[in-house]
Amino acid sequence: MTRQELIDLIKRKRSFLCVGLDPDISKMPQSLDGDKFAFNRAIIDATAPYAIAYKPNLAFYEMHGAKGYLAFEQTIQYIRDNYPEMLVIADAKRGDIGNTSRMYASSFFDTLGVDAVTVAPYMGEDSVTPFLGYDGKWVILLALTSNRGSADFQMLKDTQGTALYEHVLTTAQQWGTPDNLMFVVGATHGEMFRDIRRIVPHHFLLVPGVGAQGGSLAEVAQYGLNEDCGLIVNSSRGIIHASNSDDFAQVAEQKAREIRDEMSQMLTAHKIL
Amino acid sequence: MTRQELIDLIKRKRSFLCVGLDPDISKMPQSLDGDKFAFNRAIIDATAPYAIAYKPNLAFYEMHGAKGYLAFEQTIQYIRDNYPEMLVIADAKRGDIGNTSRMYASSFFDTLGVDAVTVAPYMGEDSVTPFLGYDGKWVILLALTSNRGSADFQMLKDTQGTALYEHVLTTAQQWGTPDNLMFVVGATHGEMFRDIRRIVPHHFLLVPGVGAQGGSLAEVAQYGLNEDCGLIVNSSRGIIHASNSDDFAQVAEQKAREIRDEMSQMLTAHKIL
């Protein structure tokens, strides 16, 4: 998916909502008997009118071994077959030496056919650039994450007072462009979006941490929206596990619609629609 | 595997060699028809007398989807069944928010039953500690990696002149101990092992980058060995793909034996044996 296609999709659907497909069996209705692919299908069908992206996190599939990996593949294929307009993000947080990152890139882009992969920056340029060599595909690089541990290293400052996550934002712009590179910035750092937008005015930001993790959509939008929207905001538990009963898909639809309605107003207020 | 069991294993086998099980189909003999599990079995049987650890890198399996993941599981099981004394390291470089890292930890330790997982530190404490809560299991945290990109962020210095990787070494010692935490330090930084040993005198270090990547085993041993050995040195391509023909296992055995012989001398010279 190109940047322009993504912007068009956001405007057409009046939404910048990404649904995190992170199913937790203990929160799925018993009637599904732990079938994560069946759960995802129901969630996808219910939320597709209100979302522009789906983001399965690999951990929730790998934990079941090869069987879980198959549910991941089936989920990707189901979206590709039924909702081909959607941005599909593999939340994998990979990153390895160049030789090995090339394997991961091929795995996600060639074998699975996803549009975007989250990548960890710790190992530097040759761990990231192999993911950037695919037309219409995206790297989403961790910059400032939504969790408490983001303070441990990401906020360490150098002699000029520049934090590590700011170095990541700056340095990575030598590797990729707003056409193939996005950044992860957690919603839990609402006000810091203002400073981050100074460093990356044009790049799309993938924003986790709204909902269960306590981030504010209003704050993220206020400081994070740019002239093309420039935001993809993820909600996972707040949508997919809003109900643990057989009405989970209905409740997910309602939650997704509510967020879309909020986003639609924000896009209008910011004159993006 | 406990720390004492690991030290005993090293002394008994007069070796601190880890064999990286990173099979590249283009370098496997055609007669194997791309069967990575069959390749690994032959490599393991050939090198087991000389090694103390095996380290499959997930990328080389995930690239084939669920089928590849199965070959990974079969490889782990094969080592467990036939060489139960071996340290098995899943080279995954995972790391996510606490909730998700718990899934990964369960996946690797409960489901797969490996002894150790490599973890990326970028997301901080709550991304790492879920892996530390398992008796006899290990986190191997990326500190200073073997690739060129290690200079991009890992070597950034703060106002006190402390590099990021040094912060990782220091901070992580508040989370784990020499009994459940090791660090990745690339062999390509041979002389820096002296400074690193000042920060982590007792922790085991997993050292990739010997062989194909250009690191020197002699330099690593000179500066990196401690009173308990404290090193696990990995070689992958230099052993498993030393021959691309049907004699690959024989040649791998020979390469592994040569390295073991060198290591045995080093352990004696350093009065560890």
For the stretch A101-117, pLDDT in tens is 999 999 999 999 999 99
Residue pointed to by tokens 């006000």: A191
What is the reported pLDDT for B107? Answer: 92
Task: Tell me: pLDDT of A213 over 90.
Answer: no
B111 CA: distance to closest CA in chain A (Å)? 7
B42: burial class by Cβ within 10 Å (0-12, 13-18, 19+)? buried
What single DSSP character describes residue A62? H
Residues 6+ apart with CB under 8 A from B111: A63, A64, A65
Q: Are A225 and A201 in contact (CB under 8 A)?
A: no
Distance CA A140, CA A91 (A): 9
Decide if A98 and B168 are in contact by the 8 Å CB cutoff: no
Q: Which long-range contacts (CB under 8 A, 24 or more apart) does B242-249 make?
A: B244/B27, B244/B28, B244/B29, B245/B29, B246/B29, B246/B31, B248/B28, B248/B29, B248/B39, B248/B42, B248/B43, B249/B42, B249/B43, B249/B45, B249/B46
What is the reported pLDDT for B184? Answer: 98
Contacts of A120 in chain B (CB under 8 A): 93, 95, 120, 122-123
Residues of A assigned a catalytic role: 93
Active-site residue, from B11, B55, B93, B255: B93
- To the question of pTM greater than 0.95 for the whole model, the response is yes
> Which residues does residue A250 pair with via DSSP β-bridges, in sequence order?
none
What is the reported pLDDT for B89? Answer: 98
Q: What is the CATH number of domain A3-269?
A: 3.20.20.70
Nearest chain B alpha carbon to A151: B124
Mean pLDDT of the A64-77 span: 94
What single DSSP character describes residue B226? B
Nearest chain A alpha carbon to B151: A124
Decide if B122 and A142 are in contact by the 8 Å CB cutoff: yes
Q: Which member of A106, A107, A122 has the closest CB to residue B153?
A: A122
- Select from A73, A97, A164, A167 the residue whose CB has the most chain B CBs within 10 Å, as the one to mutate to test that interface: A97
Nearest chain B alpha carbon to A150: B123
Minimal CA–CA distance to B10: which of B56, B44, B53, B55?
A: B53
HSE value, Cβ hemisphere, 13 Å, CA-based, for A180: 16
What single DSSP character describes residue B182? E
Task: Compute the count of residue pairs across chains A and B with CB atoms less than 8 Å apart.
Answer: 187
β-pair type (A53-56, A87-94)? parallel
- Select from B74, B93, B160 the residue whose CB has the most chain A CBs within 10 Å, as the one to mutate to test that interface: B93
Distance CA B269, CA B250 (A): 29
Distance CA B127, CA B227 (A): 31
What is the reported pLDDT for B191? Answer: 87
B272 CA: distance to closest CA in chain A (Å)? 32
Distance CA B211, CA B185 (A): 15
Task: Please write down the HEC assignment for all residues of A210-231.
Answer: ECCCCECHHHHHHHHCECCECE
What is the reported pLDDT for A1? Answer: 97
Distance CA B43, CA B258 (A): 15
Distance CA B226, CA B204 (A): 9
Residues 6+ apart with CB under 8 A from A49: A13, A257, A260
C-alpha to C-alpha distances, A185 to A118, B94, B152, nearest whole angstrom? 12, 18, 20
Task: Tell me: pLDDT of A158 over 80.
Answer: yes
Decide if A104 and B63 are in contact by the 8 Å CB cutoff: yes
Question: Which run of H or E residues covers position A81?
Answer: helix A65-82
What is the reported pLDDT for A212? Answer: 77
Task: Tell me: pLDDT of A190 over 90.
Answer: no
What is the reported pLDDT for B129? Answer: 98
Q: Where do the domains of chain A lie?
A: 3-269
Decide if B66 and A63 are in contact by the 8 Å CB cutoff: no
DSSP string, A242-266: S--STTHHHHHHHHHHHHHHHHHHH
The structure tokens listed for A51 are 């979302």
What is the reported pLDDT for A73? Answer: 96
A45 CA: distance to closest CA in chain B (Å)? 24
Minimal CA–CA distance to B213: which of B183, B237, B231?
A: B237
Q: Are B175 and B125 in contact (CB under 8 A)?
A: yes
Q: Are B120 and B128 in contact (CB under 8 A)?
A: no
The structure tokens listed for B192 are 């820096």
Minimal CA–CA distance to A140: which of A84, A214, A88?
A: A88
Mean pLDDT of the A142-160 span: 96
What single DSSP character describes residue B17? E
Decide if A65 and B112 are in contact by the 8 Å CB cutoff: yes
Decide if A156 and B146 are in contact by the 8 Å CB cutoff: no
pLDDT one digit per residue (tens) for chain B, 273 residues: 999 999 999 999 999 999 999 999 999 999 999 999 999 999 999 999 999 999 999 999 999 988 999 999 999 999 999 999 999 999 999 999 999 999 999 999 998 999 999 999 999 999 999 999 999 999 999 999 999 999 999 999 998 999 999 999 999 999 999 999 999 999 998 889 999 999 999 999 999 988 778 889 999 999 999 999 999 999 999 999 999 999 999 999 999 999 999 999 999 999 999
Contacts of B103 in chain A (CB under 8 A): 59-60, 62-63
- Select from A26, A61, A62, A166 the residue whose CB has the most chain B CBs within 10 Å, as the one to mutate to test that interface: A62
What is the reported pLDDT for B193? Answer: 95
Looking at residue B195, its amino acid is D
Contacts of B100 in chain A (CB under 8 A): 22, 57, 59-60
Nearest chain B alpha carbon to A128: B149
Residue pointed to by tokens 């000389």: B50
Contacts of B96 in chain A (CB under 8 A): 57, 59, 93
What is the reported pLDDT for B147? Answer: 95
Nearest chain A alpha carbon to B150: A123
The structure tokens listed for A198 are 């100074």
B66 CA: distance to closest CA in chain A (Å)? 5
Q: How confident is the model at residue A214 (pLDDT cuts 50, 70, 90)?
A: confident
Nearest chain A alpha carbon to B212: A99
Task: Tell me: pLDDT of A127 over 90.
Answer: yes
Decide if A97 and B159 are in contact by the 8 Å CB cutoff: no
